[in-house]
């Protein structure tokens, strides 16, 4: 039954993309790949956020998301911490085992923290939270964890932040320069834990001081540690993304790839994934591509379409 369902989803995705003028073919090494020694395609994973989206209550369960990812044909799963219903040891091990038995890996762990605060107590609480999440990732055998700077909190809510294209003013009396100092100091205090647990932190281009490639790179270069790299999000540069993505590529540990079937929840970008693939190939990125589906279409249909699109770009191009 499951194999029949997987074939159905695969054929449905292919048919849907064919309707958009996208043809799926057998992956064969291209001359460009041969010239650069490129030997294998990037594995394609999915963030559990793609199913839940903070709004689909019937798709919040992590274990259900893992099952759906397997049925749809993904290679790996990225977990969203806020989506987990427990942090108990047994629950963590069940997640790890369930993914393994489906023949997939756990490729990433997305967490939230906020270091843009003049209050040292607030920053310490977020440092402790980050270290705690590094331990959780270790318990589940997850090799990399998405981190961010946090936002200033001067927007009324996330909808307002998105309406303003991710731009918000600092707290009154403070500047971004203050913020960079707090963020760099905070991540520095997490490095020993990251090394202890063997989990690479990946700073995402994700609002706050990470809204620009210059901001992300300033933090990563200042800390100068192999335990803080970059999580590249293809959909978080809202204007002229490609040169900005290329700036991040040399230090990228995980790529989160946005798609918007049905129109975006907050905005839609017409991303040229063939161009993004060329950027990543140029910088010899061999790692995971993790889908973050942010479309309004039902994830049960929008996610398979997204997988087919990413397979075509990242696999068929080899």
Residue 317, pLDDT score: 64
**Distances in whole angstroms, Cα of residue 243 to Cα of each of 74, 240, 275, 279:** 29, 7, 11, 9
Residue-wise pLDDT for 58-82, tens only, equals 999 999 999 999 999 999 999 999 9
In angstroms, rounded to a whole number, what is the distance separating the alpha carbons of residues 8 and 71?
10
Q: How far is CA 49 from the centre of its chain?
A: 9
Residue 21, pLDDT score: 39
Residue 2, pLDDT score: 46
Supply 309's token pair: 């699109």
Residue 31, pLDDT score: 43
Task: Tell me which architecture the domain covering 2-314 has in CATH.
Answer: Alpha-Beta Barrel (3.20)
Residue 252's contacts (CB-CB under 8 Å, 6 or more residues apart) are: 202, 229, 230, 231, 232, 280, 283, 285, 287
**pLDDT tier, 136 (very low <50, low <70, confident <90, very high otherwise):** very high
Domain ranges of the chain: 2-314
**pLDDT tier, 49 (very low <50, low <70, confident <90, very high otherwise):** very high
Using CA atoms of 207, 212, 213, 216 in order, give the dihedral in degrees to the nearest 10.
Answer: -50
Residue 32, pLDDT score: 46
Residue 86, pLDDT score: 98
| Pairing, β 76-80 against β 44-47 | parallel
User: Does residue 20 surpass a pLDDT of 80?
Assistant: no
Residue 165, pLDDT score: 84
Phi, psi of 88 (to 5 degrees): -65, 150
Burial 220-233 (b: 16+ CB within 10 A, else e): bebbebebbbbbbb
Q: Can you give the pTM of this predicted structure? A: 0.87
- Tell me the pLDDT of the chain averaged across its residues: 90
């Amino acid at each position: 039954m499951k194999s029949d369902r997987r074939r159905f989803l695969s054929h449905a995705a292919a048919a849907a993309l064919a309707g958009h003028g996208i043809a799926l073919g057998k992956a064969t090494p291209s001359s460009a790949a041969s010239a650069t020694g490129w030997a294998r395609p990037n594995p394609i994973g999915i963030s559990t956020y793609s199913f839940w989206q903070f709004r689909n209550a019937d798709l919040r369960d992590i274990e259900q998301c893992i099952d759906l990812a397997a049925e749809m044909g993904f290679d790996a799963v990225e977990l969203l911490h806020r989506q987990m219903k427990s942090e108990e040891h047994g629950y963590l091990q069940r997640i790890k085992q369930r993914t393994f038995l489906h023949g997939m890996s756990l490729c990433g762990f997305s967490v939230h923290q906020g270091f843009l605060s003049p209050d040292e107590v607030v920053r310490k609480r977020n440092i402790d939270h980050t270290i705690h999440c590094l331990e959780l990732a270790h318990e589940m055998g997850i090799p990399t964890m998405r981190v961010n700077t946090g936002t200033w909190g001067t927007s009324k809510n996330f909808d307002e932040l998105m309406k303003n294209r991710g731009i918000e003013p600092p707290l009154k009396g403070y500047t971004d320069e203050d913020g960079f100092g707090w963020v760099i100091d905070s991540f520095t205090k997490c490095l020993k834990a990251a090394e202890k647990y063997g989990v690479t932190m990946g700073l995402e281009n994700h609002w706050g001081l990470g809204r620009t490639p210059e901001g992300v790179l300033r933090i990563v270069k200042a800390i100068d540690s192999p335990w803080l790299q970059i999580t590249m999000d293809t959909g978080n540069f809202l204007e002229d993304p490609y040169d900005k993505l290329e700036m991040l590529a040399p230090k990228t540990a995980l790529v989160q790839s946005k798609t918007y079937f049905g129109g975006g929840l907050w905005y839609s970008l017409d991303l040229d994934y063939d161009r993004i693939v060329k950027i990543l190939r140029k910088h010899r990125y061999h790692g995971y591509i993790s889908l973050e589906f942010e479309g309004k279409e039902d994830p049960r249909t929008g996610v398979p379409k997204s997988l087919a699109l990413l397979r075509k770009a990242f696999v068929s191009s080899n």
